Amino acid sequence: EAQVTQNPRYLITVTGKKLTVTCSQNMNHEYMSWYRQDPGLGLRQIYYSMNVEVTDKGDVPEGYKVSRKEKRNFPLILESPSPNQTSLYFCASSISSGGSIEQFFGPGTRLTVL
Amino acid sequence: QKEVEQDPGPLSVPEGAIVSLNCTYSNSAFQYFMWYRQYSRKGPELLMYTYSSGNKEDGRFTAQVDKSSKYISLFIRDSQPSDSATYLCAISSYNTDKLIFGTGTRLQVFP
């Protein structure tokens, strides 16, 4: 089954404790992206990757890191999480570019930073 | 000014009603107009899209774009409780590197 998977689905952590949210897709997509979704603010792009070893900042990159060492994986790293990073996070992929009509989203990771 | 604006709702309608969801956008260069549907505790999924102006119909759903007024709409006929979800509009053009999403409208259809 073609899908984007994320882990963990739910995470409660404390300020300053490094964490990684994993994302994997099995569709051989070149483009992958991370979003956060907050009430009233909608989906905001954090980082994106056009291909392996090619990443770039989205609209809200502060406090986040990413890497793209393999085509299928695109982990999101919070080196020192803070309460304002409490949010619902989505990983997405598309076949070729970020402007592609269809992006495939993972199920989401709900992060709470205390 | 935001590139795309969407009324957040929530919108609550009885089963069988016609629902109209709307977005406005600011940049006339955009050519692709999408509607994504997001069920609770799920990621968004593409519902339908249109290119440039005009209407597109898919079963009970009709997407409409009016480029002259920079207005996009999604109509749902004979709405069902299973249509209860958040609907996000999204826009892009062939030379952009990302989709621009509206904030989403939460729709509830009650029996």
Question: Closest chain B residue to A89 measured between Cα atoms?
Answer: B43
Q: Number of Cβ pairs closer than 8 Å across A and B?
A: 61
Is it true that the peptide bond before A8 is cis, omega within 30 degrees of 0? yes
Sign of the C-alpha dihedral computed for residues B66, B21, A93 and A18 taken in this order:
positive
Q: Which single residue is written with the structure tokens 């964490």?
A: A19
Instruction: HSE, CB side, 13 Å, CA atoms: give it for residue B91.
Output: 25
Instruction: Tell which of B4, B35, B37, B97 to mutate to test the A interface (max A CBs under 10 Å).
Output: B97
Chain A hits for B104, Cβ within 8 Å: 42-43
Using the 8-state DSSP alphabet, how is residue B82 labeled? Answer: G
Check residue A98 and give its pLDDT. 62
E-only strand ranges, A26-97: 31-38, 42-51, 54-57, 65-66, 76-78, 87-94
The residue-averaged pLDDT of B54-62 equals 94
On average, the pLDDT of chain B sits at: 92
The reply to whether residue A103 touches residue B99, judged by beta carbons under 8 angstroms, is yes
Give the integer Cα–Cα distance in Å for A67 and A64: 11
Give the integer Cα–Cα distance in Å for B22 and A15: 39
Q: Which single residue is written with the structure tokens 């009324």?
A: B7
What does the pLDDT profile of chain A (114 residues) look like in tens digits? Answer: 889 999 999 999 999 999 999 999 999 999 999 999 998 888 999 999 999 999 999 999 999 999 999 999 999 999 999 999 999 999 999 987 666 778 999 999 999 999
Chain A hits for B96, Cβ within 8 Å: 98-99
B94, pLDDT greater than 80: no
Check residue A99 and give its pLDDT. 66
Kindly state the tokens that stand for B33: 């107009």
Order the strands of the B19-25 sheet from edge to edge: B4-6, B19-25, B71-76, B61-66, B54-58
Q: Which single residue is written with the structure tokens 């793209």?
A: A68
Using the 8-state DSSP alphabet, how is residue B12 labeled? Answer: E
Give the integer Cα–Cα distance in Å for A10 and A5: 13
Q: What are phi and psi of A23, to 5 degrees?
A: -140, 135
The reply to whether residue A43 touches residue B44, judged by beta carbons under 8 angstroms, is yes
B54, pLDDT greater than 90: no
Using the 8-state DSSP alphabet, how is residue B109 labeled? Answer: E
The residue-averaged pLDDT of B13-41 equals 93
